Amino acid sequence: MFKSSAEGRCGFRGSFAAAPADQDCSGPYDGGHLAQTYSALCCLLVLGDDLSRVDKPGIVAGLRACQLPDGSFCAHSGGSENDMRFVFCAAAISYIIDDFSGINIDSVTDFIRRSVNYDGGIGQGPGLESHGGSTFCAVSTLSLLNRLWDKSVLSTAQIERLRRWCLRKQGVGFHGRANKPDDSCYTFWVGASLSLLGADAFIDHDKLREFVLSTQDATIGGFSKYADSHPDALHTYFSLAGLSLLHEPGLAPVFAALNTTARTAARVGQIRLGHQPP
Amino acid sequence: MRSTHGRLFDKRQKGELDEEVLAISGQLLQKNPDVYTFWNIRRQALILISQKIATENGDDEAKRDERLAALYKEEMILTEACIQENPKSYGAWLQRGWVLERTPKPEYQFELKLCNLALRLDERNFHCWDHRRIVCRFANIPLEDELKFSDEKVNDNFSNYSAWHYRSSLLARTHPDPDGRLPMDEATLAKELGLATNAFYTDPEDQSAWFYTSWLFDDQHAFAEGPVPVWVTVDRKKSTILLVMSGAVEAKTVGDMIATDADGEWIPADSQAQSSQVWLFKSSSLGPATKVTLSYKALDVQVEDEWTDLDTIRALLAPANPEGSLKTALEKMLASCQELATVEPHNKWPTFIATLCMRRLEAQANHDQILSNLEKKLPKLDPKRAGMYADLANNIKVNRFLVDALAENSRVPDTLRMIRKALITRPPPPRLTWSTPLLISLKDAGSIPAEGGPSPNQGAHPSVGRGIGSSYAANIPATGRPILYQSHQPWPSVASRQRARGAEPATLRDKR
């Protein structure tokens, strides 16, 4: 259990590299990090934990401390870059702990609205280029906040343009930005976006699968960014998650908005209802 | 490395945030610029040291500024080295921006030169583009100068997608459309279309200029002044009022718009939604004599059974064809695309953009040609996106049915009676457009056939694992008939709406 006595700095650290485990927060630059908090909560859910030992009010205060006037989030209260990645982390964290009071919803949805670009895609922030990763982060955030389909942030026309932007990212596999090479991890980032937008039926499933499988290492397994490159955990996970969205047999179904399996996401519901996880 | 690391944390623990901390963390960051903890420690140290400098130099502002500038200059040298080590390091670029805000002697021109250099090495480096934006903001560099910069970049390399993107974000601010309907004023738009044409003639396979083109003539806002009511039906037997807006609104707007003495509650078509285009008022006391008044801007009308704004509905279905310089520019674009299509028969872009041009110019007159492109030509040229083209064709066909159904000489009162009957019973599905209620009622009345099953593309995909909200499948049939979205559930009850509201913490709504 992590001690979290400092207001606005609560959450999970990535490691003990910056401070030993037996210490309380040692100062303004030792505290929770949104991406680590999201990861830690997901890990706990995967492992069947009921989150009862998690300091939820502390996490909520930590989120609040990380939201900036423009609606976006930085990663920790000590200050960092701010962009759509941490917006997603904040939304996912809130969804998992079932408490959205750490987020100013109007201001975060305004940030997303202002990050929609001329080509229909969504960037890391206003003025930044449309990108598969930030598009997923924005779409999943809206989905988790229940603001994706009510036209309060994205109009029907914008959703149409967004779908087309995503679909245009298919070369053989998906790439994350126009004129960039296909990369297996975008199988998830773009694939999941299309799934949430209800347009995954329009992907060329065969070509996408062909590309992803081509990135598998024939000797040691695992998936790489491109074919004939080095496999790593990140690309392996996102390739598998992407393939699951394409209903690849033998893979657990994925809950796109949280970037976990459906089983893990269901645990969130079980915890809310007070049920024991199986 | 580990002992240096240890020394750094040791000093931090003791609160000794001094020049040695800067030296140590600098060493470490040059090797790995992504350890954000070290940047954090540096910022703390720099703040303390700069405070010390300020105190030590008291009234001597010049001396103070000189020392501070020197301190921050060192920081700039470090971040430059780090950026060379990893040009995509979030921490290094952030630190540069942080310093720029603080140093008494910012060197903006140097910053721009650095950006130029970094962009020459990687023209898609978005950290660099973002830093440029920050520099321009701090230095108050006129947007027109940046527009010239994007000119150079685009002309250097037409496939520089980032440069086109930069242009798109500048032009809306430098040359805004006074009516707010186009992305920029008409004259500038015509020029940009010319630039894009030049680009795609030079490199027809590259998507940058084609994407840019499709943005230029997309009608951004159907109604610049916001959603308007398009029809209201009152069922005094069932004690309900149905309101359909051209765009989504929240409950408060609806309450302000429709006044009635009857008790009841407004429910959006999707009980989970904050805003909706379709709202239902369920009451127990709406009788034959109850007043129902619709007030919106200049409009102030008592509604007996129904009220529609057919002109608005027709305008939404079939917006006016463009005139003047926009029309000329679109015609030129269309001609260029058609010419290029003959020269580049395997390239999908000229045909796709020509199709969008035709739709924008004269959607109804060009209907058949548009469909032919979407259903026959484009799937051959771009088979991976066959589903996307089919979906677009479907939407266009559905639109056309509505245009015909509501044409000047159609039997409008019959249509409206159908609407009232169908919609009071059940709401349109959540992923609706404003015209979905009309579609459903026309289908119910047998005016539009709805047939077909899942497309070959789709197969029998289970809905499991699709995340929040099930997949909203657009059935693309092999036949030419459009498919309408089915709705099977009844209107949400007041209780379910309350439950939906109760599921959200009370503070959500208070966040403003």
Torsion region of B290: left, alpha or beta (phi above 0 gives left; psi -120 to 50 gives alpha): beta
Give yes or no for residue B93 having a pLDDT over 90. Answer: yes
Q: What is the pLDDT of residues B417-443, one digit of tens each?
A: 554 555 555 555 445 555 665 665 555
Answer whether A87's CB lies under 8 Å from A73's CB. Answer: yes
Answer whether B477's CB lies under 8 Å from B483's CB. Answer: yes
A230/A227 Cα distance (integer angstroms)? 8
**Strands of the B258-260 sheet, one edge to the other:** B258-260, B292-296, B299-302
Residues of A in contact with B129 (CB under 8 A): 128-129
Helix (H, G, I), strand (E, B) or coil at B277: strand
| Number of Cβ atoms within 10 Å of the Cβ of A45 | 24
B134/B111 Cα distance (integer angstroms)? 10
Local confidence band at B276 (pLDDT 50, 70, 90 cut-offs) = confident
What's the length of chain A? Answer: 278
What is the sign of the dihedral through the CA atoms of B173, A123, B119 and B127?
positive
User: Measuring CA to CA, which residue among A116, A145, A97 is closest to residue A257?
Assistant: A145
The tokens for A78 are 């000590």
**What DSSP state is assigned to residue A27?**
B
Test the B interface: residue of A74, A118, A155, A263 with most B CBs within 10 Å: A118
Compute the half-sphere exposure of residue B116: CA atoms within 13 Å on the CB side of its CA. Answer: 12
| Interchain contact, B161 vs A167, CB within 8 Å | no
| Interchain contact, A105 vs B511, CB within 8 Å | yes
Q: What is the pLDDT of residues B173-220, one digit of tens each?
A: 999 988 877 889 988 988 898 899 999 999 999 999 999 998 887 765
What residue spans of chain A are helical by DSSP H? 34-46, 56-66, 84-97, 105-114, 132-144, 156-167, 186-196, 205-214, 233-245, 262-273
Kindly compute the dihedral angle of the four CA atoms of residues A120, A122, A128, A134, in this order, to the nearest 10 degrees: -150
Q: Strand (E) positions, B341-480? A: none
Q: Give backbone dihedrals phi and psi of B293, rounded to 5 degrees, phi first.
A: -115, 130
Which class for B500: exposed (0-12), middle (13-18), buried (19 or more C-beta within 10 A)? middle
Compute the half-sphere exposure of residue B286: CA atoms within 13 Å on the CB side of its CA. Answer: 25
Test the B interface: residue of A142, A150, A197, A272 with most B CBs within 10 Å: A150
B193/B183 Cα distance (integer angstroms)? 12
pLDDT score of B418: 53
Using CB atoms, which residue from B124, B472, B507 is nearest to A177?
A: B124
Give yes or no for residue A67 having a pLDDT over 90. Answer: yes
Residues of B in contact with A119 (CB under 8 A): 165, 168, 211-212, 215
Count CB pairs under 8 A between chains A and B.
187
Residues of A in contact with B384 (CB under 8 A): 170, 204, 207
Give yes or no for residue B458 having a pLDDT over 90. Answer: no
Residues with Cβ within 8 Å of B323's Cβ and at least 6 positions away in sequence, in order, are none
Q: Does residue A247 belong to the interface with chain B, where contact is any CB pair within 8 Å?
A: yes
Q: Does residue A100 belong to the interface with chain B, where contact is any CB pair within 8 Å?
A: yes
Q: Which residue has the higher pLDDT, A119 or B183?
A: A119
Answer whether A162's CB lies under 8 Å from A215's CB. Answer: no
pLDDT score of B153: 92
B358/B366 Cα distance (integer angstroms)? 6
CA A266 from centre of chain: 17
A189/A131 Cα distance (integer angstroms)? 9
A13: β partners? none
Answer whether B401's CB lies under 8 Å from B423's CB. Answer: no
Q: Give backbone dihedrals phi and psi of B343, rounded to 5 degrees, phi first.
A: -75, -30
What is the average pLDDT across B357-369? 94
pLDDT score of A122: 98
Q: Strand (E) positions, B284-317? A: 292-296, 299-302, 306-308
User: Measuring CA to CA, which residue among A151, A138, A227 is closest to residue A184?
Assistant: A227
| Interchain contact, A81 vs B91, CB within 8 Å | yes
B182/A224 Cα distance (integer angstroms)? 43
Test the A interface: residue of B16, B40, B124 with most A CBs within 10 Å: B40
**What own/partner pairs with CB < 8 Å and gap ≥ 24 does A24-28 have?**
A26/B12, A26/B13, A27/B12, A28/A77, A28/A78, A28/B40, A28/B44
What is the average pLDDT across A3-24? 61
Nearest CA in chain A to B122: A180
User: Which amino acid is located at A47 in the chain?
Assistant: L
**What DSSP state is assigned to residue B177?**
-
Answer whether A191's CB lies under 8 Å from A246's CB. Answer: yes
Local confidence band at B231 (pLDDT 50, 70, 90 cut-offs) = confident
Residues of A in contact with B502 (CB under 8 A): none
Which residue has 């199709």 as its token pair? B355
Q: Which residue has the higher pLDDT, A265 or B407?
A: A265
**Strands of the B275-283 sheet, one edge to the other:** B264-268, B275-283, B240-250, B229-235, B306-308
User: Measuring CA to CA, which residue among B471, B473, B489 is closest to residue B425?
Assistant: B489
Q: Does residue A36 belong to the interface with chain B, where contact is any CB pair within 8 Å?
A: no
**What DSSP state is assigned to residue B493?**
P
Residues of B in contact with A200 (CB under 8 A): 471
B481/B474 Cα distance (integer angstroms)? 13
Instruction: Write down the mean pLDDT value for chain A.
Output: 90
ipTM for the complex shown: 0.89
pLDDT score of B485: 40
Q: Give the percent of chain B with pLDDT over 90.
A: 48
Give yes or no for residue B400 having a pLDDT over 60. Answer: yes
| Interchain contact, B161 vs A118, CB within 8 Å | no
What is the average pLDDT across B39-62? 91
User: Measuring CA to CA, which residue among B400, B391, B397, B445 is closest to residue B418?
Assistant: B445
Local confidence band at B171 (pLDDT 50, 70, 90 cut-offs) = very high
A140/A156 Cα distance (integer angstroms)? 17
Give yes or no for residue B317 having a pLDDT over 90. Answer: no
Which residue has 């130029």 as its token pair? B116
B390: β partners? none
Residues of B in contact with A29 (CB under 8 A): 12, 37, 40-41, 44
| Interchain contact, B391 vs A202, CB within 8 Å | yes
Using CB atoms, which residue from A19, A150, A200 is nearest to B276?
A: A150
Instruction: Write down the mean pLDDT value for chain B.
Output: 80
Residues of A in contact with B458 (CB under 8 A): 201
Least confident of A37-41, B233-237, B496-500: B496-500
**What DSSP state is assigned to residue B297?**
T
Residues of A in contact with B271 (CB under 8 A): none
Per-residue HEC secondary structure of B449-471 comes to CCCCCCCCCCCCCCCCCCCCCCC
pLDDT score of B326: 82
Using CB atoms, which residue from A18, A79, A262 is nearest to B465?
A: A262
Residues of A in contact with B461 (CB under 8 A): 201, 247
User: Measuring CA to CA, which residue among A22, A54, A25, A29 is closest to residue A41?
Assistant: A54
| Interchain contact, A118 vs B169, CB within 8 Å | yes
Rounded to a whole number, what is the distance in Å from the CA of B125 to chain A's nearest CA? 10
A147/A142 Cα distance (integer angstroms)? 5
B190/B184 Cα distance (integer angstroms)? 10
User: Measuring CA to CA, which residue among A268, A153, A172 is closest to residue A211?
Assistant: A172
Q: What is the pLDDT of residues B106-158, one digit of tens each?
A: 999 999 999 999 999 999 999 999 999 999 999 999 999 999 999 999 999 98
The tokens for A228 are 């004939």
Give the pairing of strands A82-83 and A73-74: antiparallel
Number of H helices, E strands in chain B: 22, 8
Which class for B310: exposed (0-12), middle (13-18), buried (19 or more C-beta within 10 A)? middle
User: Measuring CA to CA, which residue among B218, B279, B388 is closest to residue A167?
Assistant: B388
Local confidence band at B323 (pLDDT 50, 70, 90 cut-offs) = confident
The reported pTM is: 0.86
Local confidence band at B444 (pLDDT 50, 70, 90 cut-offs) = low
Give yes or no for residue B295 having a pLDDT over 60. Answer: yes
Answer whether A138's CB lies under 8 Å from A147's CB. Answer: no
Give yes or no for residue A2 having a pLDDT over 80. Answer: no
Helix (H, G, I), strand (E, B) or coil at A266: helix
